[in-house]
Structure 1
C-alpha cells in the first residue's frame, strides 16, 4: 500500500546497537499510507470484501445493495454532484449493469476527498508516530482478500464461460453495426480455450494472494492481468473502467513494498533480502492461527465463487439451455392476411416498429427470446418462448412476458424447414423459413490447423 515502505531489513554498522529497531518511515510514506488506508482500504477493498462475504452466506441481494449504496456516501456524493460538477438530475444508486455510471464516478471522487481530509487530520494528530508497520500488515490482508475474491469471481466466469458467451446472432450481424465492446466480447467468446486461459490467470493470481508467502507472485500476476484488462476496457469502451482501475491499484499496492526486492532479483542478478514485513500478532502461536484462518477464508472464497460461476454458466453462459429451434432461419415466404409480401427494402425509418415489417432472418438462440433481422440487416431482440409440446411460439412486448405481441403455431416438415402460422399484433401472418447450416460460416467451420499453406483472412 505504501510505495516508499522500506522492505529490506536495515544494514547496521558494527557500532550499531544489536537491539536497534527498524528505521522510521519517510514522512511522505506515512502520509501516503494514511491516504491509501482510507481510500483503498476502507473505501474500496472493505466494500468489495464485505459485499462478497454477505452474498456468499446468503444475505438477500437487496440488503447487499443497501450496504453498497451506503458505502457510496450518498449525502456527500449528492452534494458534490450538484454543487461541484453541476449535475442537475438526481443520482441513481440502483445497479444498471455498468460500472462507469455518473454516480460511481462521483462517489469515487467523494472517497478521494474523504481520504485526503482524513489523511491530513491523521497526520496532525499522530505526528509522533514513525511508522505503521503492523497496521500496514493488517491492511495488506484486507487488500489481498478483497482482490483475491474479485479475481476468483472474474476468473470463474471465464473458466466456465459466461462473461463472454458466444451469441448466434453475431454470425449475421454486420461488423460495422457492432459496438467496440460487442467486438471484444465476440472475439473472446469465439475461442473458449482463450477465454478459459484468461480465467485461469485470474484464478491463479487470486489463489497466490491467499498465502502470505506467495503474495508477491500473486500481486505480480494480478498486475499483469489487470493491466491488460484495464487497457482493453479503455480501448474498447467497456463500462468497467473504474472497477478494473481499482483492481490494478490494489495489485500495485500489494506489489509496491517488494518493488526494491524484485528489482534486485530481476536487474542485478543478486539474491534479495527476505521481507521484513511485520507479523500480524506478537506471538508465533497467534500468527499460526491467523495463517489457518487466512487459508480457510481463501478456500471459502474459492468455493463460493466457483458455485457462483457454475450458476452463471448454466443460467446465461455457454451451458445455458438452448432454444428448441436453435439456429439461424431465413424467411423465404411471408404473407399477411393471405397476401404475399415480397422482400423489398424500404427507406430506413428509425421510428418504425421492426416487428411489424417482413424479417430477413429469425435467430433462435436462448429460451427466453429470439432475434429478428430486418431487410436492412438491423437486429432486434424480442422476448419469446417456444413450446415444443404444443408447437407454439409466443412473442412478448416486454422481457417479463406480461404483454403478448404475437403467437404462432409451427410445423417442421423437415429438420431444416419451419412453417409459422398465427397472429402478429392484429395481423394474420404466415411464414416459411429455411435453416442456414452453421457450417456455412467460416468462424464455425474453419477450426484449428497446425499447418497452413497461406493465411486465411477472409
Structure 2
C-alpha cells in the first residue's frame, strides 16, 4: 500500500510541475491593466483618465476604461467599474474619465482598458489621480502611460495582459500592436478583434462533445461501483472483478471527497488548502494541454458546482483512479480481500453523504435554500425565467414541501450508523436521485455533486444488492443484511472513535441548526424588511414637464422594487433592468441613488407616500423627472394569495 501511495504522489507532483504560466484561450473580450499601491485612513476619490476610440461595424462592440480596488485580505470587495453601462462607441479620439473611491480597507488600485467583439480599438494617454487630504487631485506616476514602448508578442511593456498582476492571459481573437495614430507622443495601443461570434468563449460551443465525455466517465464509474457487488466483508476471498472495482472506487471516491468536499467535513478546508492549490494547477494543465479547452479555466467560487474547472477535477481524479487501479492490480494481485480498507472507504462515504445531505436538509426545513418567491419573480413572466429560476420558484412557493424535502434529506443521517446504513442508503438513494433529476432537467449547476451522491450511495448498497432485490422483488426471505465489521482496534481507540463521532454529530447538528437559524434572521423569512418594502408600479411618468407616452422609451420606468436593504431594482418599460445602491431617509423622505455604485456619483429622489401610493421627484443629468406609483404587496398576486383548499369544485389552473 505504501508503494501505491508513493507512486500516486509522484505522478501527482510530476504533472503539477507541467502547469503553464502563460495561458491562451478564446473569448469575446480582452483587457490590459496596471496597478498601484494605495493607502489611506479616510475615504478619498480617484480618477482614471484615458483617450479611447474604436472603428467597427459590429453593433455589439464597445470599449471602456476600467478600474478595480483590491482590498486587504478579508476586507470584502472594493470599487469596480468597467463602463459597461456607458460603453464607448465613438470613432473619434475623446477623453474619458472614470471616478471611484478608496478607503482604509483598500490595498491596490488596478486600472486599464477593455474592449469586446470585432473591430479596431485604440487607447492612449492613461493618467491616474488620487485625492489628497485637502481635496486636491494629485497625479500618480504610472509606467508607459502613452505606450511609447513598442508592443512585442501581444505584450504591452509595463502593462499586464489581463485583469490580475502576474497572470499572462492572451486571447486568440485579439491582436495587440503599436500604432502611430495617437493623441500624445508618437504611438498608441491598437487592439484588433477578429472572427468573434456569439459562440466565442461559450463552453458548450468550444467543447461540443463534452456531454458524451462526461456521460462515458459516469457510466464507467457506475460499472466499477456495481462490480463490487461480488464482494462482501463477510467473505475472505473476493472475486477478481470485485477487487478491481474496489480498488478503483477506493481511489476515486477518496480523491473526490478530498478535492470536492464542499464543506461536508467540519473544518476540512483548514487542512485542504495546499492540496486544493495543487489540484488547481493540475486541473488547469489537464484542461488546457490534454482536453485542449480553448478558453480561460476559472477556479474561483461563483455559486456554480459545474464549472469547467470542476469537470477538469473530475477528469483528473478519474484518470488517476484508472492508472492507480492498474498499478495496484499489478503489484497487489495476490491479496484476496480489503476488509479494513473497505471499512475506511465506507466510513468516509457514509459521513460525506450523510453530513452533506443533513446540511442541505436543514436549510430546506427553514425554507432558506428555496425561499418564497421574491417580488422580482412575481413580476416576471414565465417566459423570461430560466429553467433554474422556474424550479426555484416552484420549490420555494410551498413552505410545507420545503419541510418535506428537508426531512427526507436529513434522514440521510441514518448512514452515520452502521446498523441503519442500508435503510439510510435506500432512503438516500431515492432522495438523491430526485435531487439529481431536478439538477439535470432544470439545468441547476449542482449536477456533479448530486451525481456523486447517487454514485456513492450505490456503492454503499452494492454489497447488499442481491439481498435487497430478493426482499423487494422476489419476496425471498433474507436472514440478515451485511454489517460492516470494524477493524480490531484496541479499547482506547474504540472509545476515542466514539467520542470523535459524538463530537462530529454535535457539531454537524448543533452548529448546523445554529447557523441556519441565524441565516434565517439575516437572509430568510425573519430578516428585517427595508423601508418602503414592496413593488411600486409606475402609473404616470413626466420628464421636463412632458408626460411620457412612448412605451418603447428607454427612460420610462415600469416599476421600482424595494426588497433588500440599501438596494432597489428598477425595471424599465423596454424590459431593461437596473439595480442601484440606495440610502433611504424616511424622515426627510429622500432616496439617494448611486448609479455607478460609488459615493461621488449620486442623485436624490424626493418622495411622498400615502397609503398604497408613492409620488416622486428628482433631477438627473439635467432632466427634471416626476412620477406617480401604486404599491403592490405579495398579497396582491394570485400565486401568493390563492392558498390551500380542501374542496375544489373545478380545477383552478391559471
- TM-score bracket, shorter-length normalisation: 0.7 to 0.9
Q: CA RMSD in A?
A: 2.6
Match of 1:134 in 2: 340
- Tell me how far 1:247 sits from its aligned partner: 1.5
Q: 1:182 aligns with which of 389, 394, 410?
A: 389
Distance verdict in 2 for CA 1:189–1:402, change over 3 Å: farther
Deviations 1:368-398 (A, max 9, x none): 4222222234544333343334433233345
1:150, distance to aligned residue in structure 2 (A): 1.2
Cα offset for 1:415? 2.1
2:529–2:563 Cα contact (<8 Å) kept? yes
Q: Name the SS for the 2:561 alignment partner.
A: strand
Q: d(CA) in 2 for partners of 1:304 and 1:426?
A: 54
Are residue 429 (structure 1) and residue 625 (structure 2) matched? yes
Which residue does the alignment assign to 2:503? 296
- The alpha-carbon deviation at position 66 of structure 1 amounts to 4.0
- In structure 1, what is the equivalent of residue 418 of structure 2? 212
Report the Cα distance in structure 1 between the residues aligned to 2:466 and 2:491, rounded to whole angstroms: 27
- 2:231 match: 6
Counterparts in 2 of 1:4-403, with a 5 A limit? 4-7=229-232, 9=234, 22-44=235-257, 47-48=260-261, 52-54=265-267, 66=273, 69-70=276-277, 73-165=279-371, 166-205=373-412, 207-267=413-473, 268-282=475-489, 286-287=493-494, 289-337=496-544, 339-346=545-552, 357-397=555-595, 402=599
Q: Residues 101-140 of structure 1: CA distance to partner in whole angstroms, max 9, x if unpaired? A: 1111111101100111111111112111111111101111
Residue aligned with 2:244, SS: helix
Change (3 A) 1:236 1:101: same
3-state DSSP of counterpart to 1:134: helix
Q: CA deviation at 1:45?
A: 5.5
| Whole-Å separation in 2 of the counterparts to 1:214 and 1:431 | 64
Cross-structure match for 2:616: 420
The residue matched to 1:78 in structure 2 has which SS?
Answer: helix
TM-score (norm 2): 0.61
**2: CA distance between counterparts of 1:410 and 1:64?**
54
C-alpha displacement of 1:232: 0.8
Give the distance between the partners of 1:427 and 1:366, measured in 2 at CA. Answer: 28
Contact 1:24 1:131 (C-alpha < 8 Å) held by counterparts: yes
Secondary structure at the aligned position of 1:3 is classed as helix
Matches of 2:489 and 2:635 in 1, distance apart? 66
2:608 to 411, 415, 425: 411
> How far apart in 2 are the matches of 1:97 and 1:213?
36
* Structure-2 change in CA distance of 1:8 and 1:279 (3 Å): closer
- CA distance in 1: counterparts of 2:343 and 2:600, whole angstroms: 57
Q: Which structure has more helix as a fraction of its residues?
A: 1
Deviations 1:53-77 (A, max 9, x none): 227xxx7xxx688457336x23332
For residues 211-264 of structure 1, give each alpha carbon's deviation from its aligned partner in whole angstroms, at most 9, with x where no partner exists. 221111221111111101111111111111111111211222222222222223
Measured after TM superposition, the shift of residue 178 of structure 1 is 0.5
Structure number with bigger Rg? 2
Q: Distance in 2 between matches of 1:250 and 1:320?
A: 37
Secondary structure of 1:48's match? coil
Sort the Cα spacing of 1:360 and 1:312 in 2 relative to 1 into closer, same or farther, 3 A. Answer: same
Aligned to 1:273, the other structure's residue is in SS state: coil
Normalised to the residue count of structure 1, the TM-score between the two structures is 0.85
CA contact (8 A) 1:420 1:432 kept: yes
Higher RCO (Cα < 8 Å, 6 or more apart): 1
Q: How many residues align?
A: 427
Per the alignment, residue 641 of structure 2 pairs with 445
Partner of 1:13: none
Kept in 1: contact 2:375–2:534 (CA 8 A) = yes
> Could you list the per-position Cα deviations for residues 11-61 of structure 1 after superposition, in whole angstroms to 9, with x for gaps in the alignment?
xxxxxxxxxxx3311111111111111111233267517774227xxx7xx
Distance across 1 between alignment mates of 2:280 and 2:434: 32
Give 1 or 2: higher strand fraction: 2
Relative to structure 1, the CA distance from residue 260 to residue 358 in structure 2 (aligned partners, 3 Å threshold; closer, same or farther) is: same
- C-alpha distance 271-170 of structure 1, shift in aligned 2 (>3 A): same
Instruction: Please state how far the C-alpha of 1:286 moved relative to its aligned partner.
Output: 4.4
